[in-house]
A and B are shown apart, each in its own frame.
Chain A
Amino acid sequence: MQPSKSLLALALALGTTSLFATRTLADDLTVISFGGAVQKAQQKAYYDAFTKESGINVIAGEYNGEQAKIKAMVDTRNVTWDVVEVESAELYRGCEEGIYQELDYTKIGDKKDFLPKAVSECGVGTFVWSTVLAYDGDKLKTPPASWQDFWDVKKFPGKRGLRKGAKFTLEIALLADGVKPDDVYKVLATKEGVERAFKKLDEIKANIQWWEAGAQPPQMLAAGDLVMSSAYNGRIATAQSEGKNLKIVWNGSIYDADHWAIPRGTPKLEQAYKFIAFASRPGPQQVYSSQITYGPTNLKAVEGLDPKRVAELPTAPKNLEGALASNTQFWVEHGEELEQRFNAWAAK
């Protein structure tokens, strides 16, 4: 135990000193993302190409979205992460709490080039993921077309999967009840709208199988436990590449973005802007989306992509028709109340 511990300390010490050394010597930029397949695609699309173009070396790191770490850096004025990938709700709260720098869009690009969802005060969206209606193409002869079909227990008998929680479930219920995507959050912000969503859910309550982890829906669909389910588009794409004949209905999909943000007080502010501007251009985003089925946020990036790949992305113009942008602010405000109500409803 002891030797390995001291070895670790030594490695850490060496690591930090070398980090400091390089930080003072060269023009390095530390970029932190969620790791895994996402980071692999980022390395290829953004980090390597950015270094080639600007001469700024990118040190790639990963984290699990813990905001406490970034907050500690900002509070102690010792910011060693220059650009961070953050999820919508964390970005919104972090912006309120002063963890992230408000962005100067003149240094990044024209706001009109981006999906509206991707533009916010402290962050620029980098990719879009989506909650979609999925089913097994081998088992359903007549494919469902919308959430209305999801509710049609006579035409499609069997259990349906939904994520256990109010978020997305209530939106889906309203979409199934015929609310237009643009009006969903307006309706949901009223008491009657919430009643309406729960009433709609009551109709199929006995037929719902709740899932919690993103890996569950493709597995349950393939096993025949579910006739259809809500699912994350990336998970369905993975299952497809493993040879399963799972299909996606994009109509009524709910999309959300991950963002680049700059922790307040980084000494590399200019370089960070340069990186974000680079990673927001159509070219690099195209490379990214050819690596992984997450959609580019720059509207122009879709144009040059392989049409076959475009059809799999949440941001393809055709897939965006009838799609709904998840409203982060709404959920930060109403989340507690609606989740509690959902829990009370589900437990009865």
Chain B
Amino acid sequence: MSGAIEASGGISLKHRLRRAERLTRLKYLGLIAPLAVFLLLTFVWPIGSLLYRSIDNPEVVGALPRTVQALGNWDGKDLPDDAVFDALAADLSVDRRSPVLAGAAKRLNMEMSGFRSLLINTARKLDQQPGQSAKAAILAAEPRWGDIEIWRIVARNRSSVTPFYLLSALDLRIGDDGGIVRAPDDQAIYVDILIRTLWMSVFVTFWCLLLGYPLAYLLAQVSTGASNLLMILVLLPFWTSILVRVAAWIVLLQKEGPINKALIALGLINDPLQLVFNRFGVYIAMVHILLPFVILPLYAVMKSIPPSYMRAAISLGCPPFKSFWKVYFPQTLPGVGAGGLLVFILAMGYYITPALLGSPKEQMASYFVAFYTNETINWGMAAALSAVLLVATLILYVFYARYFGPARAKQITPR
């Protein structure tokens, strides 16, 4: 057989097969190339450059190039030698009102309040007389340059990448001896915020699953007409603007709102309850907003489960609840996993709902990302917090994929 083919073509079958395969593979690649380029441009590249911002540190190197070079072999024990002061004087005399210098001043001020005026004032006041050393002139302009701590901060920024933002996002900083230490208690905030973000997301996910599961089950069981009506009731709020829904919750839950008024009228309470601008209000609104994200995947999975399985289990003598638990529920696990993961990841990034319905004790990580992006224009810190949030989410996703993912689901469904 193989001899016949070889005789007719002159080339081996293997060879031709490989060539045909290569051609199809190229065709496939050509077909997915636009998508790959699109993903690269709109997803990988922006996220990559965002993550890079969390270690990017161009300001000091850009404004004080000679100084950072001269500081290259400084041991950090005594004041730097005259060569370093000469370099600083040379750097500062180039352009005393340059935006580059202002950028470096802003960056150094993040490490130590007051550095901004130190650098700017030195640049303005520096007036080196002939015969005067640069060191004397600089110290005359700003005596604070005689402090070693100031020089340690400059030296710490002689590289164009820095761990500063990422460490800050984990409530850590570089100590005097160069080692990593914990931030003082009154400045430590982000670890608590991250734990809070995770905890609130878990809590919201739990309640979404608890409330969404029976509803999805109902949707899957009732007649088409009724399920269509119910589905519209689920989708209508889903399509409504999130701001409208949040504002509606404020109206409902506020002190003079209908819920408090009704409870007082019923005689259940005497004074209005604080239902909004606290954790309770945030949970209520988040569960309400995220509920459709768990109902829809659960419904899709439940619709695909043939009712005959349950009937078979019951007709073979298994009690109804046990057959639900042993036969039906395991088959819905992929839906539970998908819906839960979707809600969890969305909840991790929640910003507007806690901002409007919560107190400062309810703000999640993304609130601080927005704070640094818009208000203080400290994009390094915003990027670092995003990176920490992204890593935390990815770790949880890996965990999910390991225990609920497609591989695991396959083991369950064929049973």
Which residues of A sit under 8 angstroms from B401, Cβ to Cβ? none
A332 and B119 CA atoms in complex are apart in Å by 14
Which of B97, B116, B186, B359 is in CB contact (< 8 Å) with A344? B186
Which of A96, A341, A345 is in CB contact (< 8 Å) with B102? A96
A164 and B362 CA atoms in complex are apart in Å by 14
B196 to A, closest residue via Cβ: A347
Answer whether residue A71 sits at the interface, using C-beta atoms and an 8 A cutoff: yes
A99 and B102 CA atoms in complex are apart in Å by 11
A333-B360 CB under 8 A given contacts A93-B102, A96-B102, A347-B193: no
A98 touches B113 (CB 8 A): no
CB proximity to A under 8 Å, residues B359-415: 359-361, 363, 368, 371, 376, 378
Which residues of A sit under 8 angstroms from B277, Cβ to Cβ? 209
A337 and B188 CA atoms in complex are apart in Å by 11
Answer whether residue A97 sits at the interface, using C-beta atoms and an 8 A cutoff: yes
Answer whether residue B187 sits at the interface, using C-beta atoms and an 8 A cutoff: yes
Answer whether residue A22 sits at the interface, using C-beta atoms and an 8 A cutoff: no
Which residues of B sit under 8 angstroms from A336, Cβ to Cβ? 109-110, 113, 376, 378
A10 and B105 CA atoms in complex are apart in Å by 43
B119 to A, closest residue via Cβ: A96
A268 and B256 CA atoms in complex are apart in Å by 57
A343 touches B189 (CB 8 A): yes
A70 and B187 CA atoms in complex are apart in Å by 35
CB proximity to B under 8 Å, residues A303-344: 329, 332-337, 339-341, 343-344
Which of A71, A223, A341, A344 is in CB contact (< 8 Å) with B256? A223
A98 and B94 CA atoms in complex are apart in Å by 14
CB proximity to A under 8 Å, residues B98-129: 98-99, 102, 105, 109-110, 113-114, 116-117, 120
A-B contact pairs, 21 of them (CB 8 A): A96-B102, A96-B105, A96-B120, A98-B99, A99-B99, A209-B277, A210-B359, A210-B360, A223-B256, A333-B113, A333-B117, A335-B376, A336-B110, A336-B376, A340-B187, A340-B189, A341-B186, A343-B371, A345-B186, A347-B193, A348-B192
Q: CB within 8 Å of B: which residues of A?
A: 71, 93, 96-99, 164, 198, 209-210, 223-225, 329, 332-337, 339-341, 343-348
Q: CB within 8 Å of A: which residues of B?
A: 97-99, 102, 105, 109-110, 113-114, 116-117, 120, 186-189, 192-193, 254-256, 277, 359-361, 363, 368, 371, 376, 378
Can you list the 3 inter-chain pairs with the closest CB atoms, starting with the nearest? A98-B97, A346-B360, A344-B189
